[in-house]
Amino acid sequence: MSEANTTEEGGTTASKQDTVTLPARPRSRTDLLRSGFGRNLGLVVALVVLCLVGVATAGDTFATGANVLTILRLAAVVGVVSVGMTFVITGGGIDLSVGAMVALASVWATTLATQQLAVDYGWIFMVSTALVVGAACGLVNGLLVAYGKIVPFVATLAMLASARGLAEIISDRRTQIITVNSFADFFGGSLIGVPVLIWIFLLVAAAGWVVLNRTTFGRRTFAVGGNAEAARLAGIEVQRHTVALYVLAGLCCGIAAVMLMARTTTGSSTHGQLYELDAIAAVVIGGTLLSGGRGTIVGTVFGVLIFTTLNNVFTLNNLSISAQSVAKGAIIVVAVLLQQRLARRSTSS
Amino acid sequence: MTDLLNMMGIVKEFPGVRALDGVDLDVRAGEVHCLLGQNGAGKSTLIRVLTGAHQPDAGMIRINDEAVQLNSPTAAIQRGIAAIYQELDLVPDLTVAENIFLGHEPSRYGFSRTHEANTKARSILQGLGHPEIPTHRSVGSLPAAGQQVVSMARALSREARLIVMDEPSAVLDPEEVSNLFRVIRGLTDSGVAVVYISHRLEEIREIGDRVTVLKDGATVATGLDARETPTKELIQLMTGRSIEYVFPPRNEVPDTAPVVLEVVDLSRPGEFAGVGFDVRAGEILGLAGLVGSGRSEVLETLYGARRAATGFVRVDGAVLRPGRVQDAVKAGVGLAPEERKSQALLLDEAVFKNITVSTLGRFASSGFLNSRAEREEARKLAVALDVRPAGVDQPVRNLSGGNQQKVVLARWLLRECRVLLLDEPTRGVDVGARSEIYGLIRSLASNGVAIVLVSSEVEEVLGLSDRVVVLREGRAVHTGPAQEIDEHQVLDLVMEGSAR
């Protein structure tokens, strides 16, 4: 017995030494690439390159404070949508209905009735209407996916169609002008020189990062997206969690609707057109896996900034929207190719 | 006899790990060559190199004295090398015949010939002793043993000269195993070489010709006689230390110990009926039975992962709502499922996240996680259970089977479970780590946990449990103390329904 013990201990120390010395060498490089900073490094470089191109081609108009704020203001709306999308995709789903939910929320929040309430009791009524509409649509999505067992792609595709349709019915396909001055004043205003819209984007992104990385909700999101069966057997309420993810995405759409209403001072059934593609593209090039289980808010924010800056540079150079689309597609492909190379490197062991 | 295959000085590195560090392997035509080694010794990696899935960083591969480069799985297949993997690589939604001929479908002018495929598939299955498997059914609807046969039929359809079998017996019943051996003998008689990987030494003795032992990515012995080499020597070669395959001593469970888990008249149509038993605090109850006897189903049902049709489960006197995992977990029940990788682990997540996933509430205040406390607790458990390597920040994927199992146990240990359900706790765990897992399970029981153990290895059930329930076709045919029954009696019960 005592002999066996000593040999066993000998084995232990030997293998511990192995594990200490072996991994040190080849890891350092991949570790850096895999760490949050390293993964985002590529995105930072891409953004910097874009900015350099902007400065080189349209330096006098691009590199101004006003233009930077314009870029950020444009990025803010789709950015908030993308934060919600990051949660859904990390949790193993997808939401195609975000643009339609933005439209429906904006229309519902700008009907004459809602605006009258806002005039009487304050703009908070318009905001809460938008948020409730967004969250309710998300709830329907979530229930269909989690309990109706409909594939997320299909369930949210149905919502995409019907939410925009409902928005058209409510608005009678007319653009609804916002006449509530207090609303326009608050959301159109600035705080310490920075537009309120940008503050909202920053807040949502920061909150999203905290929730995803520092809370039980976030941890469960990774678990559900990474291995739903294991999560279920570990005692996580997978269905309830899935519903919560879609509600969160819907809520983000409600916030985005408010921001869009402020930027355009209208509510319209054509708002948020193709937001689903912009948001998914931003999430994917940011480094979130479409198959779920891995996601990053910081990456998503960079993804949004890259696309918005690209638009801005193209617009300043008087290039067509079509050319922008081509460049967008190319960026998506390159980013995903790079991402796959990293993923392969990290799972090959 | 000339060598069919020579592998010399094979080296394969992954980021952070040197998985293979100079492996040699010689296989002759017509022999069953067994590959032994602990988890993490490099067996799987070696197989992947041989089948072209991985490219070696150094070393040489010769087939029939001709140096070859196996750049891709296709290249390996063309050289006559086929493999049956541990995790079956079948497409569940395709039919049996389509799976067998996947990649080389019988066709004419680009149109597939379904009838021909079915006929050929039938004749291959016939040769394997399984004419009853319908070639037009989808593979996903077959039981595990049937899928294994399909996997083997696929290898045969390639007319392979060398077939690698990675733990083919893991999902098979004793009867199926003897059938497998019959097939293997038929293959070797016709000159095919088989590389056979298994953790079960008795199988290696029965079917093997020669043995190569791997340890820490290198060959430590080769060409050993599979029948004559003493077990002790093999274990010593594999582990580098001499240990016996021992079960920890039982401790007396007093009659006064409270009954923690009561299972009353549990049934699920088509799976099992009228199953009932009690487990006291500190007691290990073993469920023995063949694959398909309902043993895993019983376990999953009392965990709530399946909904019971009749009957109920009580933990500490409180009835659990059927089909609610959350209820069971709240009541203090934990499950270490059979399929660790797909049912228990988040493979790409860090060890500590896998340990704390069922106990997140404890590390959170109003939803915010304290990762430092999480890591700290996980590290303590990792040290206590001797999880290797010890770092809790690396992904679980990098750990060997035995260490992954320890992570699952640590998860429920952290939750301070009242009842622990273990489904095949040592499946895919190598000999050296097994005794450790056994000791761990026993010490959990000593701390007052009620444990239900399911295992296809009768020896394990008898050696580890205090009491056993023998299941046959979904019904309990025997319940009694583990010491009062031996392996033969259990096998008789399992096969015949009565002890002779």
In this complex, the residue of A8, A236, A293 whose CB is nearest that of residue B241 is: A8
B227 and B273 share one domain:
no
The winner for highest mean pLDDT among A237-246, B91-100, B237-246 is: A237-246
**Average confidence (pLDDT) over B127-131:** 81
- Which distant-in-sequence residues (6+ apart) come within 8 Å of A25 by Cβ? none
Question: Is B13 an interface residue toward A (CB < 8 Å)?
Answer: yes
Averaged pLDDT, A57-79: 89
The reply to whether residue B346 touches residue A27, judged by beta carbons under 8 angstroms, is: no
Mean pLDDT, residues B307-321 taken together: 91
Asked if residue B300 and residue B199 are part of one domain, the reply reads: no
Q: Is residue B441 part of a domain?
A: yes
Distance from CA of A349 to the nearest CA of B (A): 5
**Do B137 and B268 fall within a single domain?**
no
Highest mean pLDDT among A138-152, B202-216, B386-400, B436-450: A138-152
Region A254-263: mean pLDDT is 94
Average pLDDT over residues A308-335: 87
A22/B330 CB distance under 8 A: no
Q: Quote the mean pLDDT of chain B.
A: 85
Instruction: Among B239, B272, B305, give the residue marking a domain's end.
Output: B239
CA distance B421 to chain A (A): 12
What is the rounded average pLDDT of the residues B228-250? 71
What is the pLDDT averaged over residues A258-285? 93
CA–CA separation, A315 vs A327, rounded Å? 13
Nearest CA-CA partner of B97 in B81, B108, B113, B84: B113
From B325, B386, B388, residue closest to A232, measured CB to CB:
B325
Instruction: Please give the pLDDT value at position B263.
Output: 93
Cβ–Cβ contact A240 with B under 8 A: no
Q: Is residue B275 located within the same domain as residue B202?
A: no
* Interchain CB distance below 8 Å, B343 and A230: yes
Which of A24-38, A171-185, B133-147, B397-411 bottoms out in mean pLDDT, i.e. has the lowest?
A24-38
The answer, for B389 touching chain A at a CB cutoff of 8 Å, is yes
Shared-domain flag, residues B60 and B161? yes
Inspect the interface and report whether the beta carbons of A234 and B303 lie closer than 8 Å: no
State phi, psi for A215 to the nearest 5 degrees.
Answer: -125, 165
Q: In Å, how far are A99, A325, A330, A342, B1 from A335, measured between CA atoms?
A: 23, 15, 9, 11, 54
Mean pLDDT value across chain A: 85
Q: How far apart are CA A24 and CA A238, in angstroms?
A: 38
What is the structure's pLDDT at B457? 77
Least confident piece of the model among A26-30, A90-94, B441-445: A26-30
**pLDDT (tens digit per residue) in A173-184:** 999 998 888 888
Question: A114-156 pLDDT, tens per residue?
Answer: 888 888 888 899 999 999 999 999 999 999 999 999 999 999 9
Instruction: Judge residue B98's burial from the number of C-beta atoms within 10 Å of its C-beta, 0-12 exposed, 13-18 middle, 19 or more buried.
Output: buried
Q: Name the residue among B31, B28, B29 with its Cα closest to residue B185.
A: B31
**Which residue in chain B has the smallest CA separation from A226?**
B346
Q: What is the mean pLDDT of residues A180-196?
A: 87
Nearest of B421, B145, B413 to residue B300 by alpha carbon: B421
C-beta atoms of A234 and B330 within 8 A: no
Query: Which of A5, A27, A219 should be substituted to probe chain B, the one whose Cβ sees the most B Cβ atoms within 10 Å?
Result: A219
- Chain B contact set for A232 (CB, 8 A): 305, 325
Cβ–Cβ contact B242 with A under 8 A: yes
pLDDT in tens, B149-192: 888 888 888 888 899 988 887 777 777 788 888 888 888 888 88
Q: Does residue B326 carry a pLDDT above 70?
A: yes
- Mean pLDDT for A310-336 is 87
Of B185, B211, B239, the position where a domain reaches its end is B239
Domain edges within chain A: 38-347
**B399: in domain:** yes
Give the integer Cα–Cα distance in Å for B337 and B334: 9
**pTM score, whole prediction:** 0.73
Task: Locate the chain B residue with the closest alpha carbon to A17.
Answer: B389
Residue B51's pLDDT is what?
Answer: 87
Q: What is the SS3 assignment for B225-241?
A: ECCCCCHHHHHHHHHCC
Q: Which two tokens stand for residue A52?
A: 């350099």
> Greater confidence, B147 or A162?
A162
Report CA-CA distances (Å) from A314 to A44, A50, A77, A317, B21.
Answer: 19, 10, 20, 5, 54
B105: domain CATH number is 3.40.50.300
Please state the separation of Cα A34 from the chain's center in Å: 21
- Which residues of chain A lie closer than 8 angstroms to B242, CB-CB? 4, 7
For position B40, what pLDDT does the model report? 66
Q: Does A18 touch chain B (CB under 8 A)?
A: yes
Query: What is the number of structural domains in chain B?
Result: 2
Instruction: Enumerate the residues of chain A whose CB falls inside 8 A of the CB of residue B216.
Output: 18
Looking at residue A148, its pLDDT comes to 94
Distance from CA of A109 to the nearest CA of B (A): 31
* Region for B39 from its dihedrals, namely left if φ exceeds 0, alpha if ψ lies in -120 to 50, beta otherwise: beta
Query: Nearest chain A Cα to B326, which residue?
Result: A235
Residue B249, in any domain of the structure: no
Whether B41 and B178 map to the same domain: the answer is yes
> Helix (H, G, I), strand (E, B), or coil: what is residue A190?
strand
- What pLDDT score was predicted for residue A345? 57
* Domain span at B468: 259-496
B357 CB within 8 Å of a chain A CB: yes
Residue B471 has pLDDT above 70, yes or no: yes
Domain shared by B184 and B142, yes or no: yes
Same domain, B344 and B276: yes
- DSSP per residue, A210-252: HHHHHBHHHHHHHHHHH-HHHHHHTT--HHHHHHHHHHHHHHH
* Inside any domain, residue B193: yes
pLDDT at B126 over 50: yes
Contact A227 B345 (CB under 8 A): yes
Same domain, B294 and B386: yes
**B348 and B271 fall within a common domain:** yes
Nearest to A139 by CA among A242, A277, A218: A242
Structure tokens at B161: 């000269």
B246 belongs to a structural domain: no
Q: Could you read off the pLDDT of B72-84 as tens digits, one per residue?
A: 888 888 888 888 8
Give the number of beta-carbon pairs within 8 Å between A and B. 118
Whether B344 sits inside 8 A of A234 (CB atoms) is: yes
Asked if B361 lies within 8 A of A11 by C-beta distance, the reply is: no
A38-347 CATH pick, 3.30.70, 1.10.3470, 1.10.260, 3.30.750: 1.10.3470
Distance of CA B245 to CAs B204, B433, B435, B436, B438, Å? 16, 10, 6, 10, 10
